[in-house]
Amino acid sequence: MKNVAVIGAGTMGNGIAHTFAQSGFNVQLIDISEASLKRGMDTIAKNLDRMVAREKISEADKAETLGNITTFTSITDGVKNVDLVVEAATENVELKLNIFKQLDEACQAETILASNTSSISITLIAAVTKRPEKVIGMHFMNPVPIMKLVEIIRGYSTSDEVTNTIMELSKKLGKTPTEVNDYPGFVANRILMPMLNEAIETLYNGVAGVEEIDTVMKLGMAHPMGPLQLADFIGLDICLSILNVMYDGFKNPKYAPCPLLVNMVRAGKLGVKSGEGFYDYSESRKAEHVSKQFSK
């Protein structure tokens, strides 16, 4: 396996492309937007510059990594002759199903189709293809080049051969793959999202303020980032989407999103990406709140 396509040039997509390219794979990064592709490639270059500055890689390594990535705005053109596709589009069921229908038509019969979904059923995604045994989940963590975990999610029909191939591939990327079964939220978000939602409920009920809640969890529970800051970092719209998938999947009220979260998303307060969430990320405050996370 040498040739990989990544669908989506956003935060997760460019991180996945970076990781594969740095490990020597030929990567075809695909997005419908030229502007998104440019932003994605700029992000990869900046992240590589940080690694050069810290003497973790050389300038030659940086050049080789960037040289391993080719960009495309067409799925049909971008997935020719690839061994693996990793879809990293927005966490939207209909969008993902549509992408996998296209991939199934455009890819070679032997190509493995993976989704970076953080909550949506792999079995559901696989059902829209004619190769359900070759569909699997690869849930990378953000920031992808740094975080070691990859949740490997088996759909109902995913074959042992494909699962073993992806487990071994993940190790070649320097990751620690962990196999889980296909239930809403898998493991990571089934545990994480109710915690974030409960932190939002705690704020909503007036128990404590934003910084107080985060301070308790950082200093008292040794979390590297408070839950409200983490929700901002993930994106409040993503948190809401995942909670809705879990609530729909389990029909259990404990997964129902807090009304405060719903209203913040409706108001466009999505966290870091919108400039405001539980914290202020306007240009004057951005460095204070965000750069600390990357300077550690």
Binding residues: 8-13, 31, 91, 96, 118, 142, 273
Judging by beta carbons within 10 Å of its beta carbon (0-12, 13-18, 19+), is residue 137 exposed, middle or buried? buried
Of 150, 118, 115, give the one whose Cα is nearest residue 134: 115
Q: Is 9 exposed, middle or buried (0-12, 13-18, 19+ CB in 10 A)?
A: buried
Closest among 174, 189, 79, 69 to 137, alpha carbons compared:
189
Q: Helix-strand-coil percent breakdown of the chain, rounded to 5?
A: 55, 15, 30
Q: Which of 36, 151, 197, 276 is catalytic?
A: 151
Q: Judge contact between 188 and 139, C-beta under 8 A.
A: yes
Q: Does the active-site annotation cover 139?
A: yes
Choice among 115, 116, 118, 244 that is catalytic? 118
State the binding site for NAD(+).
Answer: 8-13, 31, 91, 96, 118, 142, 273
Q: Is 118 one of the annotated active-site residues of the chain?
A: yes
Is 110 considered catalytic here? no
DSSP 167-210: HHHHHHTT-EEEEEE-STTTTHHHHHHHHHHHHHHHHHTTSS-H
Which residue in the list 189, 197, 241, 244 is annotated as catalytic?
189
Q: Check if 241 is active-site.
A: no
List the catalytic residue out of 68, 139, 170, 241: 139
Beta bridge partners of 136: 114, 154
Distance between CA 11 and CA 27 in Å, rounded?
A: 16
Q: Show which residues are catalytic.
A: 118, 139, 151, 189
